[in-house]
Structure 1
Amino acid sequence: MTLPIASSVRIDHPLQGIAWMVAGVFLLSVMDALSKHAVSQMSIPVLIAARSVVVLVLLLPWVLRSGGWSALRTRRPGAHLLRGLLSVCSMLAFFESLRLLPLATVIAICFAAPLFMTLLSVPLIKERVGAHRWGALLAGFVGVSLIIGPQAMDGELGLGAGLALVAAFFYAASMTCVRWLSPTESDLSMLVWQNLTMGLAGTVGLLFVPWDMAPGMWPIIALMAILVLLGQRCTFRAFRLAPVGVVAPYHYSELLWSALFGWLFWQEWPGANVWWGALFVVGAGLYTLWRERARTVFSGS
């Protein structure tokens, strides 16, 4: 079964979408570094619940300024619930993988997410992916294989690598839903319903784990909430401005930030295979940009 297609006309702005995506990835990269520290200090359901509560508190002034409850009304509650649950699954797998692997390794494996987004955009929202983009997609998967290949063959990654790939898939599905929802739903409603679902899921998780967060972690949780809010706003804007297949490859810039943060805070540095793999995936993204610009110029738009 495919998802319904909105009837509204969409005008794409690929270069603007890419710029918003790069900004959003930087903010989310800082949040990921804070997450690696946080998961060493508390259980994952506590982290999800606490961060979601802070995000909802930060969103409250925006909700009130936008008309209160009326700004959150939706004719698509099932779609919001689906996206929220996908986000919960992604966060659970991602946070647990951070416990088991270095930050840059987790991020490198999660580079599969943009590839999954491009694949999912075809059956779910009927976006057209031409032969050139399929070629770039294949090159991207080759790059991801180079990133995880040597460690996987040596049996060093195990559960952590599997969780990172699961996180990438569910994240891709969640962000593809943004493109599906954006013609009828506001950024505000998507943020509120997503974090409400995640907060409720985290609260349910507290029934099975102890509340083990030290008071000194609240400022870090608050900063994480601010960063994820700003980062999501940027990525939402990117998906409104350009097709998934155009902006998704620019998630790859996260490797540079994660490598820098890993080196600064945990004395981690990606191996040569990670950088060779990144060469493929970044090259795929740059080729997609070149093709999009060429197509725009050729069409005279």
Structure 2
Amino acid sequence: MNSPSPLDVLLRADRPLQGIAWMVAGMFLLSVLDALSKHAVSQLSIPVLMAARSAMVLVLLVPWALRSGGWSALRTRRPWAQLLRGLLVVCSMWAFFESLRWLSLATVIAICFAAPLFMTLLSVPLLHERVGAHRWGALLAGFVGVGLIVGPQALDGELGLGAWLALAAALFYAASMTSVRWLSPTESDLSMMVWQNLTVCLVGTVGLCFVPLEVGPGMWPVIGFMAVLVLLGQLCTFRALRMAPVGVVAPFHYSELLWAALFGWAFWHEWPGAHVWWGAFLVVGAGLYTLWRERVRSMAAG
């Protein structure tokens, strides 16, 4: 009889409630980051923002790396997979930042709600996770909810290129986060964060060859705070994906809607329309139903 693989062991050692809690915390931190990003892209070019923010994240990671054994803690058994994940993050960030130039923060976040749906879909071919009929139904309900969120703008012809960029950002983000669980049996959180931010920093630095390096003095503290939020947000989402299957924690990405609505009201005097809340009702309901089905399945297996 063959012994179980590290991935099999990981998938059987799930703690869904803790994974969900980490995902919700991560989404709050990343929502603050998104609000700051909306401000930053109006002041900086995207290569400058990517290079400066990722460089600061790498600086923040130095003490952790030193406590963990220095260079040996950053060694990777799958360098090409790490590079691929880093490039997925680059594509997601670039598309997201560019979409913020075209659309309001609330609209971009609403469209990016497609990311957890993509994560659930990608978990089947990439991680061989089992998604039963009930979770497929919840997934369909989630897509309907996203349709309700963006539907009025789409019918009015207001989305255009910005919407496609936001949707691309969601897809690339979903692929990068799904790959965290794929890499986690052999790679540490530290190594994934370092190689991800190193890739983003290098790509952003290359981009500086084509844009002027202009950063106002008041933007450096903003970029530094963004770096802290990136680090903490990534730690939370990585921990969530280690503790529970993608299909369980992914729906709780939608808690970002609450924070986006509150930040929009506080800073831009915006409040989502009724269609956004109806859509949120569907996607959050789909997430809660997925959790309930996961608990039923776990109890039956036990």
Can you list the C-alpha shifts for 1:125-182, whole angstroms capped at 9, x where unaligned? 1111111110000000001111111211211111111111000000000000001000
Match of 2:36 among 34, 38, 59: 34
Task: Provide the secondary structure at the position in 1 that maps to 2:271.
Answer: coil
Match of 1:102 in 2: 104
Match of 1:263 among 262, 265, 270: 265
Can you list the C-alpha shifts for 1:51-98, whole angstroms capped at 9, x where unaligned? 000000000011111111100111100000000000000000101111
Question: Structure 1 residues 197 and 68 mapped into 2: Cα distance closer, same or farther (>3 Å)?
Answer: same
Q: Partners in 2 of 1:87 and 1:128 — Cα distance?
A: 26
Q: Counterpart amino acid of 2:271?
A: W
CA contact (8 A) 1:105 1:270 kept: no
Q: Which runs of 4+ in 1 moved over 3 A?
A: 5-8
Match of 1:123 in 2: 125
Match of 2:192 in 1: 190
Q: Partners in 1 of 2:47 and 2:257 — Cα distance?
A: 26
- Which of 132-141 and 96-105 deviates more? 96-105
Match of 2:149 in 1: 147
- Which of 225-234 and 286-295 deviates more? 286-295
CA contact (8 A) 1:8 1:183 kept: no
Can you list the C-alpha shifts for 1:103-125, whole angstroms capped at 9, x where unaligned? 11111110000000000010111
Matched, 1:273 2:275: yes
Match of 2:9 in 1: 9
Task: Provide the secondary structure at the position in 1 that maps to 2:236.
Answer: helix
Q: Counterpart amino acid of 1:31?
A: L
Q: Partners in 1 of 2:160 and 2:75 — Cα distance?
A: 43
Match of 1:166 in 2: 168
Q: Counterpart amino acid of 1:245?
A: G
Q: Partners in 2 of 1:124 and 1:186 — Cα distance?
A: 19
Q: Partners in 2 of 1:190 and 1:75 — Cα distance?
A: 11
CA contact (8 A) 1:102 1:262 kept: no
Task: Provide the secondary structure at the position in 1 that maps to 2:162.
Answer: helix
How far is 1:275 from its partner?
1.2
Match of 2:294 in 1: 292
CA contact (8 A) 1:102 1:268 kept: no
Is there any run of 5+ residues in structure 1 with no aligned partner, and where? none
Q: Partners in 1 of 2:273 and 2:7 — Cα distance?
A: 47
- For normalisation by structure 1, the TM-score amounts to 0.96
Q: Counterpart amino acid of 2:152?
A: P
Q: Partners in 2 of 1:204 and 1:6 — Cα distance?
A: 37
How far is 1:298 from its partner?
2.9
Q: Counterpart amino acid of 2:214?
A: D
Match of 2:135 among 133, 141, 144: 133
- Which structure 2 residues correspond to residues 43-62 of structure 1 after superposition, within 5 A? 43-62=45-64
CA contact (8 A) 2:77 2:187 kept: no
CA contact (8 A) 1:103 1:259 kept: no
The number of residues matched between the two structures is 296
Q: Percent identity?
A: 80
Is there any run of 5+ residues in structure 2 with no aligned partner, and where? none
Match of 1:177 among 171, 176, 179: 179
Task: Provide the secondary structure at the position in 2 that maps to 1:9.
Answer: helix
Q: Partners in 2 of 1:125 and 1:39 — Cα distance?
A: 35
Tell me how large the CA RMSD over aligned residues is. 1.1
